[in-house]
Amino acid sequence: MARHHFYSFVQDSLGNAVSSANISVYLANSTTSTTTWDAETGGSSTSATPQTTSDSEGFFDFWVSDDEYTKAQEFKLDIKHADITNQSIDYVNITRITIDDHVDLGNIGANTHTQIDSHVSDNDIHRELDDTATSAVVLWSADRILNNIDVDGGTIDGVPIGITTATSARFTEITTGNMVTEGSLEIKVVEKTSDYTMTTSDNVVVAATSNLTFTLASALTGNKGQIYKLIKNADGGGVGWITATSVDTVGGDTSGSILNRYDCISLIVATTNLYIST
């Protein structure tokens, strides 16, 4: 292990060096003599008091080995000389001056050094930023996030937010306030020239020819509030619609038709298995 160095000076009340002062070293709050060494390595040891004396400059030093005392051990120094008042300095830290191991620290909490190392090195909970990755569990930098959002409008901490060039943006729920847009609000419109089964991503479906049948998307709880508009934009036979399942109805009906060109029907999913015509 290691020896720990302690050194100091003995001076009188005027600050003058006191030579040949006797320094006795004990365990803290006791008269149990301490073993000290006269060098960091090698040298000789003694437990006979006084273990050392001050030189002509008032300087004295000694070493204590942590092979013999724990790093938590504290010590007492008694300093005596005829020209000064005897001094006793208790609870002196010597072996704890140099601490190089986590286990030697006090008040370290409940986790061991091994547990702390394991936590810090766990890549599943400490992820690195990776702007090139595309999986759902990676972390992007703020720059990468902002570069992927074409912003225009309000701000968060001074950074504008909004969506201007996204191919598709679906707001699943706005719980308070209003959704406000500047300019036009574009919704999805598809034209069909053959029979078509609608999906929840549809908004406006236009029949470009006559005698077509549109099958509505299922009226499910998750689609509540979904709005559809069916438009007939052709002369000739009517455009029919039917519900996706036998339990779905539009105000009680499972089928209907749009007879005249430019006529339309608007539908909203009111609840499970129920459309309401508006």
Q: What pLDDT is stored for residue 55 in this prediction?
A: 97
Q: Residues 218-239: what's their mean pLDDT?
A: 86
Q: Which residue intervals of the chain bear CATH 2.60.40?
A: 3-93
28-57: per-residue pLDDT in tens?
A: 999 999 999 999 999 999 999 999 999 999
* Exposure of 119 in the CB half-sphere (CA atoms within 13 A): 6
For residue 169, pLDDT over 60 is answered with: no
69-93: per-residue pLDDT in tens?
A: 988 899 999 999 999 999 999 999 9
For residue 223, pLDDT over 70 is answered with: yes
Q: What pLDDT is stored for residue 155 in this prediction?
A: 47
Q: What pLDDT is stored for residue 171 in this prediction?
A: 52
* Distance between CA atoms of residues 25 and 95, nearest Å: 13
pLDDT band at 151 (very low <50, low <70, confident <90, very high): very low
Q: Which CATH number fits domain 189-277: 3.40.50, 2.60.120, 2.170.140, 2.30.38?
A: 2.60.120
Q: Which residue intervals of the chain bear CATH 2.60.120?
A: 189-277
pLDDT band at 154 (very low <50, low <70, confident <90, very high): very low
For residue 61, pLDDT over 70 is answered with: yes
Q: Which fold has domain 3-93?
A: Immunoglobulin-like (2.60.40)
Q: Residues of the chain with pLDDT > 90: what percent? A: 43
pLDDT band at 208 (very low <50, low <70, confident <90, very high): very high
For residue 232, pLDDT over 50 is answered with: yes
DSSP character at residue 128: P
Kindly tell me the burial class for residue 135, based on how many C-beta atoms sit within 10 Å of its own C-beta (0-12, 13-18, 19 or more).
exposed
94: left (phi over 0), alpha (psi -120 to 50) or beta: alpha
For residue 161, pLDDT over 70 is answered with: no
Q: What pLDDT is stored for residue 58 in this prediction?
A: 96
* Distance between CA atoms of residues 144 and 150, nearest Å: 12
Q: Residues 123-146: what's their mean pLDDT?
A: 77
For residue 135, pLDDT over 50 is answered with: yes
pLDDT band at 24 (very low <50, low <70, confident <90, very high): very high
Q: What pLDDT is stored for residue 88 in this prediction?
A: 96
